[in-house]
Amino acid sequence: MSEPEPELETMDKRVQRSKQTVLAATYKLLSEGGIGGVSVDGVSRLSGVSKTTIYRHWPSRTALLLDACSKLGTGPTIPDTGSLKGDVTMLAKHLAHELQSARWPAVLPSIIDAAERDPDLAQLHAGLHAGLMAPFLEVAERARKRGELAPGQKASEIVAAIVAPFFYRRWFSREPIDEEFVKSAVRDIVGRSKYK
């Protein structure tokens, strides 16, 4: 918002290459060691781009970190099966798969930790979280318009109810997220939305 953002097109090829290389390396270190595992020296070593150049493009380590983190949670395509159950099933399966294979789940705890103290990171976390939840929210909203949700029920509550058990499993109880679990989670949600 405050950055002029000088249009990738008009950028010097060398700058493009450098920035991209550096971001890739940062992302790798990030996913391997969390926020604490990222140092400018480390990024320089891994990427082969000299530290001097890195500091030419990012004013500080924090800036680089925020830049890399912001490209973390690219959501899936939003399904549209026509029913809440169908949509949620697809999203839940996708989430289950990502939680166990993608790289961002390994990074998120360190962001949450940092957000506990640093306002900038808290904001970043809010953005990431919103991005992750967006598909679920969209699906819930549609169900609402279809009349599949009880009157008093907020869409965000549905979203929390479906996602919370997944997160709990991934980071707190650390149990595997198998097909059985996904099924029962979806069942709970759908059951809850219909009655009462």
Residues lying near DNA in the complex (CB under 7 A) are found at 12-15, 17-19, 38-42, 48-53, 55-57, 59-62
Q: Which residues are CB-contacts of 85 (< 8 A; sequence separation ≥ 6)?
A: 186, 190
Contact call for residue 109 and a copy of itself (CB under 8 A): yes
Task: Give the nearer residue to DNA in terms of CB position, either 47 or 89.
Answer: 47
d(CA 148, CA 12): 53
Contact call for residue 119 and a copy of itself (CB under 8 A): no
Tell me, residue by residue from 10 to 29, as one string, x for binding to a copy of itself by CB under 8 A and - for no binding: --------------------
Contact with a copy of itself (CB under 8 A): which of 47, 89, 110, 193?
110
CB of 72 to a copy of itself, least distance (A): 14
Helical residues (DSSP H) of the chain, grouped into ranges? 13-33, 40-47, 51-57, 61-70, 84-101, 104-115, 119-145, 155-167, 179-194
d(CA 102, CA 90): 17
CA 132, chain centre distance (Å): 5
Contact with a copy of itself (CB under 8 A): which of 116, 120, 123, 183?
116
CA 26, chain centre distance (Å): 16
Q: Residue type for 28, please?
A: K
Residues that bind a copy of itself (CB under 8 A): 33-34, 36, 106, 109-110, 112-113, 115-117, 122, 125-126, 129, 160-161, 163-165, 167-169, 171-174, 188, 191-192, 196
